[in-house]
Each structure stands twice: as C-alpha cells, then as structure tokens.
A and B are shown apart, each in its own frame.
Chain A
Amino acid sequence: MNALLRSTLCAPIEGIINTLLAQDPSAMVKLQRYSGKVVRCECTTPIRFECFLLVEDARIALLSLYEGEPDASLSASASAFSKIAMSSSQTEALFSPDIALSGDTHLIQALHQIIGQLEIDWEAHMAVIFGDVASHQLGKILSSSARWATQSKEAVLANVEEYLHEEAQILPNKTEFAHFSARLDELKLSLDRIQARTARLDKALDETSS
C-alpha cells in the first residue's frame, strides 16, 4: 500500500487513541514510562497493512514509516486486531493462535493494559457541554440503563440455559457434559490400549508362525 495512503489512514486512528488517552490522566502517566518505545503492528488479512506505534511523552504516534529497529512486533489479522482493541482480557486478546508476537512482549502487554484500563470520567466531560446538574442526571440514567442491560442479559442467558437443560432437556448441563467428556476420554484410552495389545499379539503370532 502507498506510504502516503498508509499515513493518511493512520491519522484518524492516532487521533482517536490520543483523544481517549487525554481523558485519563493516570493512563498518560503510565504511558510516559514507555516513552521512546516502538511497536510494529502488521495486519496480515484481508489487506497487508503495516504501521508503527511510537510512544511519545504523553501521546501515541502512529507512523507509516519508521527507520529504526522496533522494540516489539505484533502481527495479526484485522479481526484479531479488533479483538485486541475490544477485549480487556490479555489472555483472550493477545495469546491467541491468530496473533504473532515478537520482541519485547511485555511492552505490548503493558500498552494493551494501559489502553484496556482507561477510566474515562464521561460525566465530567459531559458537564462541560450540558452543565453539572443535567450531566449528573444523564449519567444516572445512562448508568442505570447499563446496569439494567447487564442484568437483563444475564437473566435471559440464565433462563435460556435453564430451559434448554432442565425443561426441554435438549442439552446436557455442565456437570453432565464434564462427566460425559471424562467417560469419553476413558473410552478412548481403553481403545488405544486394546489396539496396542492387539498389535502386540499380531506381532507375536507372526513371529511364532514364521
């Protein structure tokens, strides 16, 4: 891809990252520890796209070109990158077969943690536009809506699970499934043992007959 086009594509992403970072002063302080470090990010599919994430004092620069040696490298598909961006769990996001890490992997983990743990005080930012009282009320409505949505999601999942397991009995529950898996493993091991014994007997029979 053309370097100017890459640089142009990096500009809005860099803008979003820095706007979010600027909302959390503690993240900026943490980021300063890694000032000068560079991570090469390579998107492998659907299009090959390479950029360099450079930590500056209190911001992140996304460069299309970097002439030095990066401290770490992260190579993944576009979908894996979106998973990294959305997930706050490092194990889930970074240690997946779709992602290749090299160099100083602690640096990648640390940066992912800083971005994943951003604590943005939305209410304070809304107060600048709507005023203290209105933004407090709006914040209360939004947080209660978010709580309601989380509770509803959990309740729906629990009800569906109960229906499928207990009432319709279409699916086994977790304990049954674990028991079934254990029995299946035992069966597989027994079959392997029988197969090995048969092979040994066949071999002994061949040796006797010859």
Chain B
Amino acid sequence: MSENKNPHQDSDSPTTHFGYEQVPVQEKAKRVGQVFHSVAGKYDVMNDLMSLGSHRLVKRFTVELSGVRAGHKVLDLAGGTGDFTIRFSSLVGKTGQVVLADINASMLQVGRDRLIDKGITDNVLYSQVNAEQLPFAPGTFDCVCIAYGLRNVTDKEAALRSMYSVLKPGGRVIVLEFSKPRNELVSKAYDGYSALWPIVGKLVTGDADSYRYLVESIRMHPDQDTLKSMMEDAGFSDCRYHDVMGGVCAIHLGFKALDAE
C-alpha cells in the first residue's frame, strides 16, 4: 500500500491515494464505496461506452487465461455486475461453484439481479467481502479472479496475500487491471481519450466525479512490473503478465505452488 504522511493531516494519521487526492487510510474504502454506489446502475453501459465494447473481448481472453474447467471453485472478486461470473458459471458446470464477491452492496445487488434474470442460480453464491480480509478457509478456490478491482483496494499487498491464502495449492490468481501503455504515442492518445470519460460519465450517469476518480486511479495504479513484484512478494510463483492493447490493460497471472502450505 502506498501510504504517505499528509502534511495537512494529523502527523500520526497515515494516508493513501484516492485518485490524485490523499485521504486517511480508513476513509478510502468508504469513498470508493460511494463511487461505485453512484455508478452501479449504469456501470455496464459506461464500460461499453468508455472501452467502445473492447472490454468484452478483454474479459473473454481473461477467462480463457484463467484455465477454469468443469468442477472448479472460482472466486470472482470485485465481481460487481457479474460479467465474469456468468462465464465462469458456465465453465465450472454443475459440479463446480462460483462465488461472486464485492465489497460494494449496490454492485453486488446489480450483479445478483442480473444473474437471476439470466437464470444462473445453480452454482453461484454471493458474498459481500473486503478483499484485504477474505472470509474463506485457506485453500478453498482453484482460481481467484479480480478484474478492474485491485486499484480500488486500499491495501493491495494485503489483498494479494489474502487471495494467496484462499487459493488451493496449484491454483491461480488472475488480475485484470488498467496499466501503463508501452508506446508513448499510445499513452498520449489514451490520456486524451480517457480525459473524456468524466464528460461521458456526467452525460450518462449524471456523475462526473466518479469517472474523474476512475481516470485518476488508473494513473496511480502500479505498472505491469511493479504489480508482478507485488504478486511475487505476496507468495505467488511463476508470475507473468499479458499486455492488452499495447499495455492499456494488463492481465497478470500468478500461481500458488503445489508444495505451498
């Protein structure tokens, strides 16, 4: 976690970033919660608008990289509106199970309603959890997937350690997150494009601030190699990543060694 001392705060109160802003550590989860509570209803529409639909293909590829098969137990962390759970549920079949987990009740509600409307009820459970302290027994899941969620977690290291703990030996974590474009030109174009998101957010959801936070949080998120090191520090082995769209997003993979406790 990138904790800093804010000169305007009490010197004993650690702070963390909320976009470009420094906020007390204990306040970040609440502020992020407010953001997602505000956008939950239009979350999928905004994803389509901001990514021009490409998020569907990236998510599809992420699911393929997850290696999830029939009978697996999967944790879809920060699963929000359930895009991944829908795919995982189909892949694990009747003998497997997917837990759709999110810290935000509004997002979880949208996801649960959506899945029930689609008739996906057999093998899906719902859980409101904090990624930093996952309330599951160690060695529960074959795969933990967190997509576009890690950057919103206050203590990323704690979240990665917690994910490591709930994985079975041989299981894998898959982290899909915005990252740093490799090419300077792509980076500039992406910066320009993402500057439009708060405007689009204002028009569609009536809330520009949440999308301003989104853009800022992407800038503050660690780059590909830093995140890979963080995963290794949390205990994952054979960590690697796939750049998507020149590094605009990255899919990180990490494994829990077979001989891990």
Interface positions of A (Cβ within 8 A of B):
3-4, 7-8, 11, 35-36, 54, 56-57, 59, 61, 63-65, 67-68
Number of B residues whose C-beta is below 8 Å from A?
A: 16
B57 touches A56 (CB 8 A): no
Nearest CB to that of A57 among chain B residues? B93
Query: In the assembled complex, how far is the CB of residue A22 from the closest CB belonging to chain B, in whole angstroms?
Result: 13
B93 touches A4 (CB 8 A): no
A8 touches B57 (CB 8 A): yes
B64: chain A residues within 8 A (beta carbon): 3, 7, 63-65
One of A4, A35, A59, A68 near B242 (C-beta < 8 A): A4
Given A4-B242, A36-B70, A65-B65; A56-B91 close (CB under 8 Å): yes
A3 touches B61 (CB 8 A): yes
Query: In the assembled complex, how far is the CB of residue B145 from the closest CB belonging to chain A, in whole angstroms?
Result: 15
A64: chain B residues within 8 A (beta carbon): 61, 64
Q: Is the CB of B67 closer than 8 A to any CB of chain A? A: yes
Given A65-B64, A65-B65, A67-B67; A7-B93 close (CB under 8 Å): no
A3: chain B residues within 8 A (beta carbon): 61, 64, 242
Complex: A4 Cα to B94 Cα, angstroms = 28
Known: A4-B58, A57-B93, A65-B64. 5 other contacts (CB 8 A): A11-B57, A36-B70, A59-B90, A64-B61, A68-B69
One of A35, A63, A65, A68 near B93 (C-beta < 8 A): A35
Complex: A70 Cα to B93 Cα, angstroms = 17
Residue-by-residue, is B90-128 near A (CB-CB < 8 Å gives 1, otherwise 0)? 110110000000000000000000000000000000000
B91 touches A7 (CB 8 A): no
Nearest CB to that of B251 among chain A residues? A4
B244: chain A residues within 8 A (beta carbon): 4
Q: Is the CB of B182 closer than 8 A to any CB of chain A? A: no
Q: Is the CB of B60 closer than 8 A to any CB of chain A? A: yes
29 A-B residue pairings within 8 Å (CB atoms): A3-B61, A3-B64, A3-B242, A4-B57, A4-B58, A4-B242, A4-B244, A7-B57, A7-B61, A8-B57, A8-B60, A8-B61, A11-B60, A35-B70, A35-B93, A36-B93, A56-B90, A56-B93, A57-B90, A57-B93, A57-B94, A61-B91, A64-B61, A64-B64, A65-B64, A65-B65, A65-B67, A67-B67, A67-B69
Complex: A103 Cα to B122 Cα, angstroms = 32
Nearest CB to that of B61 among chain A residues? A7
Complex: A3 Cα to B57 Cα, angstroms = 12
Complex: A143 Cα to B56 Cα, angstroms = 39
Nearest CB to that of A10 among chain B residues? B60
A61: chain B residues within 8 A (beta carbon): 90-91
Complex: A54 Cα to B93 Cα, angstroms = 12
A59: chain B residues within 8 A (beta carbon): 90
Nearest CB to that of A56 among chain B residues? B90
A54: chain B residues within 8 A (beta carbon): 91
B58: chain A residues within 8 A (beta carbon): 4
Complex: A54 Cα to B69 Cα, angstroms = 10
Query: In the assembled complex, how far is the CB of residue B187 from the closest CB belonging to chain A, in whole angstroms?
Result: 19
A8: chain B residues within 8 A (beta carbon): 57, 60-61
Scoring B70, B94, B244 by chain A CB atoms within 10 A of each residue's CB, the highest score goes to B70
